[in-house]
Structure 1
Amino acid sequence: MLKGVLLSILASVLFGGLYFYTTWLDPLSGEEIYGWRMLLTLPVMSLFLFWSGDWGLVRSIAARLNKDWKLWVALPVSSLLLGIQLWLFLWAPLHGHAMNVSLGYFMMPLVMVLIGHFYYKDTLSHWQKGAVLLAFLGVVHAVFQAGGFSWTSLLVCLGYPYYFVLRTQFKTDHLGGLWFDMLLMLPVALYFTATGQGFDAMLGMNTSLPLLIILLGLLSASALVAYILSSKLLPFSLFGLLGYVEPVLLVLVAFLIGENIAEKEWPTYIAIWLALTLLTLEGLFTLNRQAQPYALKERITADRSGS
């Protein structure tokens, strides 16, 4: 489970970095950035699958397409759900919706906890229940202050959980399924890149843009791989709760690009930070309990060797 937690945190850090990274890709629009990201993520992910020996996951889904017609519907829907989220993630900070999207990411873990409890029958520890309560209070305050939900907030908090549920139902919840998601996004990605200003800028004086675009693909692939691997290693509810790391980082990015938190919004973020603190304390206590038997075994072995 520790590996899953670390991968989830790594994914959140990389996604937060991507959120800020988009501001360096001038003169590309949000649609162009999305297009280049998809075009470069697929080959990088393909190389990773070959290197890690997981290419068989892609072949297994391809073989199932000959037997299960439902996959011909499920895979495009899965790709569409993820594609919308990835596009919104890059579009929001360029169009003044960074805080609204951050609110959506605050609400999403609660939706995932509810799905995990009622659909997957996950059980929560006392620490996790306390974190859920704090997060719930923070989100209620945020929604009350905002006067409701923006469409970007709802798209995030409802779209992502259903994406994961759909992948689980059709047993595509692994890197092979993510590869097909990326593959089916290519037509839209090609359209966005072909109709944008990126090629003209790269042929002009902007010599750094090609390198920045290549790095975009590397960061994107790394974040998505870590995210999907963590979703396989963690219970659905805990995976959802760890999603609170990302919106905290997105708020920091929103600060960096010029957005601010109003005084009335601080209770929401304090509640979320307290919830993350509870999860961190639980993790530290768990690691300590796991380390004690190992340390005792080491001492016994050392005593026997000494005697």
Structure 2
Amino acid sequence: MPTITSSESQSREATLGGAAAGAGYLLWGLSVIFYRQLANVVPFEILAHRTLWSILLVGGLIFGLRRGVHLAELLRDRRKLATLAMTAMILGSNWWLFIWAVNSGRILETSLGYFINPLVSVLIGVFVLGERLSRPQIAATGLAIAGVAYFTFALGFLPWISLVLALSFAVYGYLRKITRVDALAGLLVEVLVMAPFAVCYLAYTSAHEGTSFVKEGWLTDALLIATGPMTTLPLLLFTYGAQRIRLTTLGLLQYLVPTTSFAIAVWIYDEPLGHGQMVTFGFIWLGLAIFTVDMWRNERELRRVSLSAR
């Protein structure tokens, strides 16, 4: 049998990692179609089911993959638990707004939000961590601000859905990054924090006007149950991929999410894409192009310095 060299093994791992991360991002992008099938269900009920079914699935995966030790370590750390209680509220709000926007025919605004997200993360680095922006980053951020300003001027309203989604996810990502916990264990704690609210909502609704679960038929029931896998599977694929590919590659792949939802909004659901929206997206895309090239150059320089130092 031929011997597999270390470089061949690393190349294979990187290929598998890229495919996994790409599949995870693609599933996140396609999720707008999934949640659109639940347009007959109140967004709060969808969020409640997403929370509860995720608990069952994530909890099962943690013990099935024998990662209970990570959960046990996390449960002993009060500071991390306090941070995760905060991220749970941010994540729950982000999930609810996304579901509401998708089912209200505003997928383009969610797409814009996730295009803006990397640039909002840059601003968090500036104002929270005291980082200094490079000239390309200043240009990219300026273009994003110009795009939002043009949207507001041309269409007469602030794209608040886009901004709230971008800001909430950027803050969530920052807090999860500095907390440094196992992805599955952290998600389980977050959905456990959300669980009492989910249970109270479903109990109250059941006692009054009733819930869509069971009442709306087997397809709605199946879709509500599937919110668990739709939450967990992309995360597993992303986590597997993120551990095996370069940061630049991961950064480029993340644009699959808003690109996919943008295409779905325009070509499947015929959401209006007027001159104002196109100019706004043009500003954002140009800013992201500058930002991505700058990120790629910086990582290439870091790799060169690292190799020369060996």
Both proteins in one fold, TM over 0.5: yes
| 1:188-231, Cα deviation, whole Å (9 max, x unpaired) | 22233334479654444623222222222212211233345556
Task: Note closer, same or farther for the CA distance 1:145–1:165 as it changes in structure 2 (3 Å cut).
Answer: closer
Matches within 5 A, 1:251-262: 251-255=262-266, 256-262=268-274
Q: Distance in 1 between matches of 2:159 and 2:272?
A: 18
Q: Distance in 2 between matches of 1:49 and 1:239?
A: 24
Task: Note closer, same or farther for the CA distance 1:169–1:201 as it changes in structure 2 (3 Å cut).
Answer: closer
Q: Aligned to 1:159, which of 140, 163, 168?
A: 168
Where does residue 298 of structure 1 map in the other structure?
Answer: none
Opposite residue 182 of structure 1, the aligned amino acid is V
Q: Distance in 2 between matches of 1:180 and 1:237?
A: 29
Where does residue 275 of structure 2 map in the other structure?
Answer: 263
Q: Distance in 1 between matches of 2:240 and 2:173?
A: 12
Q: Aligned to 1:137, which of 135, 140, 143?
A: 143
Where does residue 87 of structure 2 map in the other structure?
Answer: 78
Where does residue 30 of structure 1 map in the other structure?
Answer: 43
Residue identity (%): 23
1:244 equivalent in alignment to 2:250: no
Task: Note closer, same or farther for the CA distance 1:79–1:15 as it changes in structure 2 (3 Å cut).
Answer: same
Opposite residue 231 of structure 2, the aligned amino acid is S
Opposite residue 276 of structure 2, the aligned amino acid is K
Q: Cα RMSD over matched residues?
A: 4.0
Task: Note closer, same or farther for the CA distance 1:123–1:6 as it changes in structure 2 (3 Å cut).
Answer: farther
1:56 equivalent in alignment to 2:69: yes
Q: Distance in 2 between matches of 1:156 and 1:38?
A: 19
Q: Distance in 1 between matches of 2:73 and 2:251?
A: 28
Contact 2:29 2:256 in 1 (8 A): no
Contact 2:70 2:182 in 1 (8 A): no
Q: CA deviation at 1:120?
A: 10
Contact 2:119 2:144 in 1 (8 A): no
Task: Note closer, same or farther for the CA distance 1:71–1:276 as it changes in structure 2 (3 Å cut).
Answer: closer
Q: CA deviation at 1:83?
A: 1.2
Opposite residue 171 of structure 2, the aligned amino acid is Y
Contact 1:175 1:228 in 2 (8 A): no
Q: Distance in 1 between matches of 2:43 and 2:185?
A: 27
Normalised to the residue count of structure 1, the TM-score between the two structures is 0.72
Q: Aligned to 2:121, which of 83, 108, 112?
A: 112
Structure 1 unaligned regions, length at least 5: 287-307
Where does residue 18 of structure 1 map in the other structure?
Answer: 31
Structure 2 unaligned regions, length at least 5: 1-12, 300-310
Q: Aligned to 1:98, which of 95, 107, 112?
A: 107
Q: Distance in 1 between matches of 2:205 and 2:288?
A: 40
Q: Distance in 2 between matches of 1:277 and 1:190?
A: 44
Q: CA deviation at 1:86?
A: 1.2
Opposite residue 56 of structure 1, the aligned amino acid is V
Where does residue 291 of structure 1 map in the other structure?
Answer: none
Contact 1:108 1:160 in 2 (8 A): yes
Secondary structure of the 1:208 match is: helix
Q: State the number of aligned residues.
A: 277
Q: Distance in 2 between matches of 1:203 and 1:265?
A: 40
Where does residue 212 of structure 1 map in the other structure?
Answer: 223
Where does residue 307 of structure 2 map in the other structure?
Answer: none
Contact 1:113 1:240 in 2 (8 A): no
Task: Note closer, same or farther for the CA distance 1:31–1:265 as it changes in structure 2 (3 Å cut).
Answer: same
Task: Note closer, same or farther for the CA distance 1:199–1:220 as it changes in structure 2 (3 Å cut).
Answer: farther
Q: CA deviation at 1:28?
A: 1.0
| 1:159-180, Cα deviation, whole Å (9 max, x unpaired) | 2122122223232263211221
Where does residue 226 of structure 1 map in the other structure?
Answer: 237
Q: Distance in 2 between matches of 1:27 and 1:87?
A: 15
Q: Distance in 2 between matches of 1:238 and 1:218?
A: 25
Q: CA deviation at 1:59?
A: 1.3
